[in-house]
């Protein structure tokens, strides 16, 4: 992916270095459960601050990047992410993303972004139909995105997954297009695909590169106490 795809104008534009803090906004839906970990992960980035954005508020309060966190928004009723995508805040996120704003969706957030049409594909129940909670290795397939630029291409990151509905699916033609445009950002390492995802896909971005969703939880891998700090690179890449 060309570096020129980094947004240079609009509300989500890259800030001139050293001028101000990067302001993250982390969305809280009814049923979110990882928004505090995401908030704390954002705050570990030295040049960043973070705040919660309420799902019923259509105002993003001028944040520079939006995080849609993990959890069970609206109880996962109907389909995962299906109700959350119509919440007031998501209307604002749609406009923000269209203007080049940076949007990161983690687990349920990835599901919401797919349902909203901000990312291609969908997440289906794991092949083994079980809730999975384990540490996996993911490979950085594209290090030239705003979300992975602190990583090396081919680098392995140790990050946990915890989900029941994490099997990434897209029709064959879409998978080819994702590959051709560098939109496959993270893949599960060999023998680490936990859920039957197509082409071992763990995370994808949109064609413009400013919206990224992944099933693993980088916000749970930011402290040596829990075994890995690799997830911090995703948040630090944005600063």
The yes or no reply on residue 227 touching another protein (CB under 8 A) is no
The yes or no reply on residue 121 touching another protein (CB under 8 A) is yes
The yes or no reply on residue 196 touching another protein (CB under 8 A) is yes
Is 163 tagged catalytic? Answer: no
Q: Considering only 63-71, 74-82, 153-161, 212-220, which stretch makes contact with another protein by CB under 8 A?
A: 74-82
Is 107 tagged catalytic? Answer: yes
Question: How far does Cα 123 stand from its chain's mean position?
Answer: 13
19 by Cβ neighbours in 10 Å (0-12 / 13-18 / 19+) ranks as exposed
Q: Beta strands 22-28 and 48-54: pairing type?
A: parallel
Joined tokens for residue 209: 């590169």
- What is the phi/psi pair of residue 235, to 5°? -75, -40
From candidates 131, 171, 176, 226, binder to another protein by CB under 8 A: 171
- What is the phi/psi pair of residue 95, to 5°? -65, -45
Closest to 231 (Cα-Cα) out of 38, 223, 221: 221
Q: Which of 107, 114, 151, 205 is catalytic?
A: 107
Joined tokens for residue 7: 């947004």
* Cβ-based nearer residue to another protein, 126 or 148: 126
From candidates 2, 17, 19, 129, binder to another protein by CB under 8 A: 129
Reduced to 3 states (helix: H, G, I; strand: E, B; else coil), residue 83 is coil
From candidates 99, 125, 150, 208, binder to another protein by CB under 8 A: 125
The yes or no reply on residue 86 touching another protein (CB under 8 A) is yes
Is 43 tagged catalytic? Answer: no
Q: Considering only 9-17, 26-34, 48-56, 78-86, which stretch makes contact with another protein by CB under 8 A?
A: 78-86
The yes or no reply on residue 82 touching another protein (CB under 8 A) is yes
Using CA atoms, how far residue 195 sits from 9, 85, 216, in Å, is 38, 24, 11
The yes or no reply on residue 128 touching another protein (CB under 8 A) is yes
- Report how far residue 76's alpha carbon sits from residue 93's, in angstroms, rounded to the nearest whole number: 20
Q: Considering only 9-17, 56-64, 98-106, 120-128, which stretch makes contact with another protein by CB under 8 A?
A: 120-128
The yes or no reply on residue 91 touching another protein (CB under 8 A) is no
Binding mask 131-170 for another protein (x = CB under 8 A): --------------------------------------xx
Residues with Cβ within 8 Å of 80's Cβ and at least 6 positions away in sequence, in order, are 108, 111, 115, 123, 165
123 by Cβ neighbours in 10 Å (0-12 / 13-18 / 19+) ranks as buried
Q: Which of 35, 115, 139, 219 is catalytic?
A: 219
Q: Contact residues for another protein (CB under 8 A)?
A: 78-79, 82, 86, 115, 121-122, 124-129, 169-171, 196
Catalytic positions are 107, 217, 219
């Amino acid at each position: 992916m060309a570096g020129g795809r980094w947004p240079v104008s609009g509300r989500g534009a890259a800030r001139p270095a050293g001028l101000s803090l990067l302001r993250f906004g982390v969305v809280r839906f009814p049923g979110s459960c990882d928004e505090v970990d995401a908030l704390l992960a954002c705050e570990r980035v030295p040049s960043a601050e973070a705040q919660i954005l309420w799902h019923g508020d259509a105002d993003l309060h001028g944040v520079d990047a939006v995080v849609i966190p993990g959890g069970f928004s609206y109880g996962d009723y109907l389909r995962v992410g299906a109700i959350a995508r119509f919440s007031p805040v998501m209307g604002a996120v749609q406009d923000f993303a269209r203007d080049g704003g940076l949007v990161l969706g983690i687990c349920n957030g990835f599901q919401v972004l797919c349902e909203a049409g901000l990312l291609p594909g969908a997440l289906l129940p794991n092949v083994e139909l079980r809730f999975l909670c384990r540490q996996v290795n993911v490979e950085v397939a594209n290090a030239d995105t705003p979300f992975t630029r602190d990583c090396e291409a081919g680098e392995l990151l140790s990050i946990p997954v915890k989900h029941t509905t994490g099997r990434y699916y897209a029709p064959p033609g879409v998978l080819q297009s994702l590959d051709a445009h560098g939109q496959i950002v993270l893949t599960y390492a060999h023998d680490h695909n936990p859920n039957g995802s197509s082409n071992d896909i763990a995370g994808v971005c949109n064609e413009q590169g400013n919206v990224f969703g992944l099933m693993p939880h980088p916000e749970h891998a930011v402290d040596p106490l829990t075994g890995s700090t690799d997830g911090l690179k995703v948040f630090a890449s944005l600063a």
